[in-house]
Amino acid sequence: MSAQISKEPLIRVIKRAERPPRQVTMLRALALVLAIVAGGVFILCLGYNPISIYGTILSGAFRSTMAVQATVKIMIPLLISSLGVTLAFKMKFWNIGAEGQIIAGAILASYFALYHDTWNHWVLVGVMFLAGAIGGGLWGLIPALCKVKWNTNETLFTLMLNYIALYVVDYLRDGPWKDPGSQGFPKIARFSKNAMLDKVLGIQMGWIIALILVVVLYIYLRYTKQGYEISVVGESSPTAKYAVMNVRKIILRTMFLSGAVCGIAGMVQATGSDITLTENVAGGVGFTAIIVAWLAQLNPITIAIVSFLFSVLEKGSSVVQSSFGLSTDCADVLQAIILFFVLGCEFFIRYGFVVRKKGGAS
Amino acid sequence: MDLFIKFLVAAVLAGTPLLFGTAGEIVSEKVGHLNLGVEGMMSIGACAGFMAGYYSDSFLIALIAAALGGALGALVYGVLTVTFMANQNVTGLTLTIFGIGLSNFIGVYALSFSPNGTLKLPEGITAHMRSIHIPGLSDLPIVGELLFSYNPFVYLGVVLAIALSFYLSRTKTGLNVQAIGENPAAADAAGIRVIRWKYINILLGGAICGIGGAYCSMIINSGVWISNCVGGLGWISVALVIFAGWKPANAIYGSLIFGALRVLKYYVPKSYVNVPVAVYDMLPFLITALVLVVSSMHKSKGVNIPASLGLNYYREER
């Protein structure tokens, strides 16, 4: 027994000096390629030609102006909510409640779309935008308050709030907001034209909001005092306290903003794409957003690129569905495989292996 | 009274998948690994179990396939978080998205080969899944219905939870495992094989979750394949771990209570309480959230949360 313990293991893991940025990029690219190969092997096992499936995904997303517009339309809520979760994740606050925050924002914005649709169009759009942000922000503030007060586990709490928000929509749909003109079928009425977001280049203007948010968040996280505070709290809460930062205030403020950005995603989806409020207003986007944010290393510019690529995957896989009969779920599977490989590759960026010398050292 | 008995029976049936999910997650959390992939592992188990049952017509093979499917999902999680030290939250969440996507995808794929557009388990296997009938015992009034009228999964779940409870707190291995969850470095220094037991527990937890998934696909929809059949039960299980205080035996009544909440809407007479259906659907999640907050308020009073939960162990940094 003692001989076993004193023996050095055959392979040891050691922390390595930082790799040069080029090597890091190469490793990540390699992970991506491996993920695509792994997905291809899976497709092959099902008896299809991976190249023709991947080809269909790409061509499906770009085959016509309409297809490109549809791809962008998918990207809008994904991009915005990825930016939202990034704020919380930078602080190492595990907000997996984007789904609920999207819904909360959509609910509050829908109230104005349904009951104040006679207002001046631009006033209404402005109010709905604010309502979305406030709805999502407050929904994000609840777990943050409990976190700073009682150290409540935010991962599980935000998760439960997702379902609670979802059933609030169900409640509104079945009761107070039920469309009287739907002959008893439980649904919420379609918004009037006045409450719809305008189109720019044939796509709802949410894409402009999304791109503006990318720039704003890039600057906010990188060049402002508040952005700096977020990273310090994320790296080490004691350090932040030592630097006389008000950690509680930073957590509350950041989670409000994180929820608010997700809420905007909900408002944009409801008033720009769905033109009504349904329980599918978030439809899993809040979870995919976490994959996107993590893949993009929490960098807003990279998030824009990754969420566009993911939207290509989503749109393309709907074409794969219609031409091969394979389910659109393959987009989710591929996205997850990509993140699995990238998560694995992070290890090789930070650590290296040492093989035991012959005969064993010491 | 009759209605109340029916309600309790329904609560047990609705709580069983939660019992598996919770027990599986406890086993994993005991070695310090918060696996948010329960929903995903259950989905993989649901799909593997159903498909194996569909093609083999054997209940045992279906069970084994479900356990293996869940364990395979857990293996991905284990490799990434134990060996590659990736972030546990993100890895688990990705596993959930992967598992749900994969099982729905395979379901649709299998449906395309089905002659009548549905997938239904064959007769031979459904016979095994029916409620047991013990002559004499099952015929007893009330007791017979309450205790001896369930499908085999229910008994398997209870036995498993008790066995795990024994394993964790009464065997030397179990105590070693708990030590890993509290302080892996100290456990390592004491000669406990930290990495090995982390893998064993994570895989075991995945296998148990997988069986819970099989319950969702094989029992809940009476043997007909439906996409998204796990439908959030995995997430409730993750929360139930806290409710159960990291004790598998407590998970038995915890899952019973949450099962009761899930079926409450069918048994409360409308004439007494007229609450919208959405409120009933929300209840399990609302109460879980309240439990979370309340239990965090009383942090000082004996909580069993493994001290190293969520933190990866890097041996060279002891």
pLDDT in tens, A196-251: 887 788 788 889 899 999 999 999 988 988 888 888 888 877 787 777 778 888 89
Same domain, A311 and A348: no
B111 in contact with A at a CB cutoff of 8 Å? no
A32 and A112 fall within a common domain = no
**Residue A95 shares a structural domain with residue A39:** no
Q: Report residue B312 CA to chain centroid gap.
A: 23
Enter the tokens of residue B243. 């409710």
Per-residue confidence (pLDDT) for residue B205, from 0 to 100: 95
Chain A nearest C-alpha distance from B147 (Å)? 32
Cβ atoms A221, A300 nearer than 8 A? yes
The 10 Å Cβ neighbour count of residue B288 is: 25
Question: How many domains would you assign to chain A?
Answer: 2
CB contacts, 8 Å: B79 with chain A: 344
Q: Which of A153, A285, A342 to mutate to test the interface with B (most CBs of B within 10 A)?
A: A153
Condensed to tens digits (0 to 9), the pLDDT of residues B138-191 reads 777 777 777 777 888 889 999 999 999 999 989 999 999 999 988 888 888 888
With respect to residue A53, please indicate whether it lies within any of the assigned structural domains.
no
Among A94, A150, A290, whose Cβ lies nearest the Cβ of B293?
A: A150
Task: State the number of CA atoms in the 13 A half-sphere of B91 facing the CB.
Answer: 28
8 Å CB contact between B107 and B225: yes
Residue B88: CB partners within 8 Å, gap ≥ 6?
Answer: B33, B34, B35, B36, B81, B310, B312
**Average pLDDT value for residue range A153-163:** 87
- Candidates A163, A170, A344; nearest CB to B80: A344
- Which residues does chain B have within 8 Å of residue A284's beta carbon, measured at their own beta carbons? 97
pLDDT for the residue A24: 83
Picking from A34, A326, A327, A351 by the largest number of B CB atoms within 10 A of its own CB, the best residue to mutate is: A327
Instruction: Write out pLDDT tens, residues A43-80.
Output: 888 888 888 888 888 888 888 888 888 899 999 999 99
Q: Give chain A positions within 8 Å (CB) of B96.
A: 287
CATH code of the domain covering residue A285: 1.10.3470.10
Tens digits of residue pLDDT in B92-134: 999 999 999 999 999 988 888 888 878 888 877 777 777 777 7
- Establish if A290 belongs to a structural domain: yes
In a domain, A288, yes or no: yes
Residue B318 binned pLDDT confidence (cut-offs 50, 70, 90)? low
State the nearest Cα–Cα gap between B146 and chain A, in angstroms. Answer: 31
When CB atoms are compared, the residue of A156, A170, A294 closest to B281 is: A170
Q: What is the DSSP letter of A9?
A: P
Q: What is the DSSP string of A274-334?
A: ISS--TTSSTTHHHHHHHHHHHTTT-HHHHHHHHHHHHHHHHHHHHHHHHH---THHHHHH
Q: Residues A347, A306: one domain?
A: no
Q: Least CA distance to A290: which residue of chain B?
A: B90
Q: Is residue A304 part of a domain?
A: yes
pLDDT at A2: 44
Contact residues on chain B for A151, CB-CB shorter than 8 A: 296, 299
- B279 to chain A, any CB pair closer than 8 A? The answer is yes
A125 in any annotated domain = yes
The pLDDT value given to residue A134 = 95
Shortest alpha-carbon distance between residue A150 and chain B (Å): 5
Asked whether residue A234 falls in the same domain as residue A117, the answer is yes
Q: What is the pLDDT of residues B249-292, one digit of tens each?
A: 999 989 999 899 888 888 887 777 778 888 888 888 888 888 88
- pLDDT value of residue B37: 93
**Domain coverage including residue A343:** 1-48+337-362
Residue A1: pLDDT over 50:
no
B 113-172 near A (Cβ less than 8 A): none
Q: Is the Cβ–Cβ distance between A48 and A326 less than 8 Å?
A: yes
pLDDT-derived band at A165, boundaries 50, 70, 90: very high
Contact B29, B200 (CB under 8 A): no
| A288 to chain B: closest CA residue | B97
Rounded to whole angstroms, the Cα distance separating B104 from B23 reads: 24
Quick one: pLDDT band at residue A3, thresholds 50, 70, 90?
very low
Please state the φ and ψ torsions of residue B98, each to the nearest 5 degrees. -60, -50
Mean pLDDT of B21-49: 94
With 0-12 / 13-18 / 19 or more C-beta atoms within 10 angstroms meaning exposed / middle / buried, residue A325 is: exposed
Residues B94, A152: C-beta atoms closer than 8 Å: no
Task: Name the range with the highest mean pLDDT among A312-321, B78-87, B294-303.
Answer: B78-87
Going by C-alpha positions, the residue among A90, A236, A93, A103 that lies closest to residue A157 is: A93
Higher per-residue pLDDT: B3 or B174: B174
Per-residue pLDDT band for A358 (boundaries 50, 70, 90) equals low
Say which residues have a Cβ less than 8 Å from residue A106's Cβ, sequence separation at least 6.
A132, A135, A263, A266, A267, A269, A270, A277, A281, A282
Contacts of A349 in chain B (CB under 8 A): none
pLDDT at A347: 85
Question: What is the C-alpha separation between B48 and B45, in angstroms, rounded?
Answer: 5
B288 touches chain A (CB under 8 A): yes
Same domain, A247 and A222: yes
Domains detected in chain B: 2-317 (1.10.3470)
Is position A181 within any domain? Answer: yes
pLDDT at B296: 80
The string of pLDDT tens digits covering residues A284-339 is 899 889 989 988 889 999 999 999 988 988 888 888 888 887 788 888 888 899 88
Q: What is the pLDDT of residue B239?
A: 83
> What global pTM score does this model have?
0.89
Read off the pLDDT band of A8 (50, 70, 90). low
Q: ∠A268-A274-A280 over CA atoms, to 5°?
A: 95
In a domain, A345, yes or no: yes
| Range of lowest pLDDT (A329-343, B13-27, B242-256, B303-317) | B303-317
CA distance A15 to A328: 40
pLDDT > 60? residue A91:
yes
Residue in chain B nearest A2 by alpha carbon: B191
Residue A320 lies in a domain: yes
Tens digits of residue pLDDT in A103-126: 999 999 999 988 888 888 888 899
What are the two backbone dihedrals, phi and then psi, of residue A11, each rounded to the nearest 5 degrees? -125, 130
Residue B3 touches chain A, beta carbons under 8 Å: no
AA identity, residue A354: V
Please check whether residues A139 and A88 belong to one and the same domain. Answer: yes
**Alpha-carbon distance B219 to nearest alpha carbon in chain A (angstroms):** 24
Domain check: are A157 and A11 in the same one? no
The identity of residue A146, as a single letter, is C
Is the dihedral angle over the CA atoms B170, B233, A290, A32 positive or is it negative? Answer: positive
Considering the domain architecture, whether residues A263 and A124 belong to the same structural domain is answered as yes
Judgement on whether residues A108 and A204 belong to the same structural domain of the protein: yes
Whether residue A137 is found in the same domain as residue A70: yes
CA distance A330 to chain B (A): 6
What is the maximal distance between C-alpha atoms in chain B? 66
The beta strands (E) that lie in chain B are given as none
For residue B232, give the nearest of A163, A294, A330 by CB distance.
A163
CA count, 13 A, side-chain hemisphere, A317: 19
Within a 10 A sphere around the Cβ of B136, how many other Cβ atoms?
9
Both A2 and A118 in one domain: the answer is no
DSSP string, A27-72: HHHHHHHHHHHHHHHHHHHTTS-HHHHHHHHHHHHHSSHHHHHHHH
Nearest-Cα distance to chain B for A25, in Å, is 18
Whether B237 has its CB under 8 Å from any CB of chain A: the answer is no
Q: Torsion angle of alpha carbons A119, A125, A128, A130, nearest 10°?
A: -120
- The gap from C-alpha B277 to its chain's centroid, in whole angstroms, comes to 25
